[in-house]
Amino acid sequence: MTTTDNKILTSAIETYRRYAGQPTLSDIESCRQDSNDEIVHLTPYCSTMDLVKLEDLTYTRSFTYSLKTRQLLFTSNVTPINKNIVRRLASPDGKYVALVTKETKGEQELQYAQIWHDEHLIFGYEVSDSKISPHGKILPKNDYASFFEWSPDSRRLVFTAEEKRKPLKSYFTADKLDEIGEPASVYRENWGEQMEAFETSVVCIFDLDTKKVQLIENQPNDLYIGQSSWTTNPDELIFVAFRLEPYRLGLIYCENRPSVLFKCNWRNNEWKQLTDFDPLCRLFPRHLPKTDNEFVYVQTDIYRAHAQCKRLVLFNTETKQEKILIDRVDNVTYSNADPFRAEWDTQFKGLHMSPPRLGYSSDERYLLLPSYYVVHEMFLNVVDYRTPYRLYVFDLKSLSKKVKDPNDWYLITEHEFKTEEKNRIEWNVDRFFPDNELIPVESVYVHVRDT
């Protein structure tokens, strides 16, 4: 190999190492410290690659940020995440942390659930302990087949787990005959397609007041509960359920499967079916934080394209009425200028992503929805759900302008934005570079000034 070849090879290796080691954001936790929302704690989880061990690594570091002064107050050291952590979630008030870990002992994989308050472990149990745990293994994170969510008041935790069953033990390793569960050779149907760990699903509640874990009973046996959303009533939740029979259709990347919505009172074990199995897929319910009996969800047509354009629907649980806030967009009009160049500034391309869990403005009127169009454009969609069919798109690139251009708001529907309302909305972007990182951390804040 010549010297030139060596230089090229070395350069290629260094380039790969540099970009392979670049972290990517995989998850983030956010909690408030005070009632005025002036102090925010952010805990991002980033993934990177260890080229020595040839494995993926996950680490986290915490940021404390002041919304009032727009300053970063504190940054913690980088903390690697143990691979044995199945679930971890801080409560909305930041006082509690729910943690699920795993470890292997002999033939068994054991799980341990813990609730921490500050530096104190206030509750914990082994999942296989039949005296305390009414469920099997707690399911890992998946957007379609599991959930692990604190209630808005930080007093209860809802999560999905497997059904309680005997561990797999052979005749030769079991101490007693009654310890022998289902034979290991018996097939157990799962969701497949990167979801082999998801077989059964039961919904459980941990009550911080009673320090007890209970199974929500009367769950439909022929359905799989995969998504949830707390309501304004701390005793009620909204669930999304999928069919199990006659066979399971893939869920991951498949937002076109039949699904139904349920409303459940976990104290009374009451399940109320809100919708039927019609030709619609309903996903990602997000309850309005201050309004009873109303939530928004994403709707698509079943058996069409997997990544099809979505509708945003407002649902009333009392009347079961639905209002389409954002309809699907089937086509866009292309200009006669450059090939494959649409009139991006004046056309809305539709929703193609799920709504965030913390997407409502403080006054509950506006909902922020992320979406994507082309690589070089960044947009946020703001929905005023009080008036159906009202949608506006704002170009985030204009945030860097010193003089705001009113044309940076792009109206999608026929309703005009009232001048007094438009002038009350403020957009701010904060950008800082942690340590010597080349890629900045950016936060976008949208709020409405009080008159």
Q: What is the pLDDT of residues 92-129, one digit of tens each?
A: 888 899 999 999 887 788 999 999 998 899 999 999 88
Return the pLDDT at 212: 93
Stretch among 11-25, 151-165, 182-196 having the lowest mean pLDDT? 182-196
pLDDT for position 275: 95
What's the CA gap between 236 and 232, in Å, rounded? 8
The Cα–Cα gap between 174 and 333 comes to 68
Evaluate the CA torsion angle 97, 92, 239, 143 in order and state its sign. negative
| Gyration radius of the chain's alpha carbons | 24
pTM summary value: 0.76
Contact of 348 with 391, CB cutoff 8 Å: yes
What is the H or E stretch that residue 193 is in? none
For the chain, the straight-line distance linking the first and the last C-alpha, in angstroms and rounded, comes to 73
- Give residue 343's pLDDT: 46
The pLDDT value given to residue 225: 95
pLDDT digit string, tens, across residues 251-261 = 887 888 899 99
Looking at residue 238, what is its pLDDT? Answer: 97
Is 50 exceeded by the pLDDT of residue 414? no
Q: Read off the pLDDT of each residue in 309-337 and give the average, rounded to a whole number.
A: 80
Residue 176: name the closest of 167, 185, 164, 184 by CA: 167
Average pLDDT of the residues in 302-326:
88
Higher-pLDDT residue of 102, 373: 102
pLDDT of 294 above 70 = yes
Q: DSSP assignment of 388-404, as one string?
A: TT-EEEEEGGGGG-SS-
Instruction: Report which of residues 187 and 291 the model is more confident about.
Output: 291
Q: Which amino acid is at 450?
A: D
- Determine the pLDDT at residue 31: 75
Give the residue with greater pLDDT, 380 vs 214.
214
Question: DSSP readout, 253-316?
Answer: T-TTS-EEEEEEETTTTEEEE-S-S-SEEEEEEEE-SSSTTEEEEEEEETTS-TT--BEEEEEE
Asked whether 43 and 81 are in contact (CB, 8 A), the reply is no
Distance CA 382, CA 428 (A): 14
Of 114 and 407, the one with more pLDDT: 114
Q: Within the chain, how many helices (H) and strands (E) appear? A: 2, 28
Q: Which of 64-68, 211-215, 326-330, 444-448 has the highest mean pLDDT?
A: 211-215
Ranking 26-40, 120-134, 151-165, 403-417 by mean pLDDT, the lowest is 403-417
Quick one: pLDDT at residue 106?
A: 77
Q: Give the pLDDT confidence score for residue 447 in this predicted structure.
A: 55
- Report d(CA 311, CA 314) in Å as an integer: 10
Which residue did the predictor score with more confidence, 374 or 18? 18
Q: Output the pLDDT for position 3.
A: 81
Looking at per-residue confidence, does 310 or 432 come out higher? Answer: 310
State the Cα–Cα distance between residues 147 and 100, nearest whole angstrom. Answer: 13
> Is it the case that residue 303 has pLDDT exceeding 60?
yes
Q: What is the mean pLDDT of residues 377-382?
A: 51
Residues 6 or more apart in contact with residue 36 via CB below 8 angstroms: none
Q: Report yes or no: 38 and 70 within 8 Å, Cβ to Cβ.
A: no
**Which is higher by pLDDT, 390 or 347?**
347
Q: Is residue 410 packed enough to be buried (19+ CB in 10 Å), middle (13-18) or exposed (0-12)? A: middle
Question: Would you place residue 350 in the very low, low, confident or very high pLDDT band (cuts 50, 70, 90)?
Answer: confident
Select the more confidently predicted residue: 396 or 29: 29
Residues 429-444: tens digit of each pLDDT: 555 555 555 555 555 5
Q: Which of 35-39, 269-273, 406-410 has the lowest mean pLDDT?
A: 406-410
Residues in the chain: 451
Tokens of 267: 């104290």
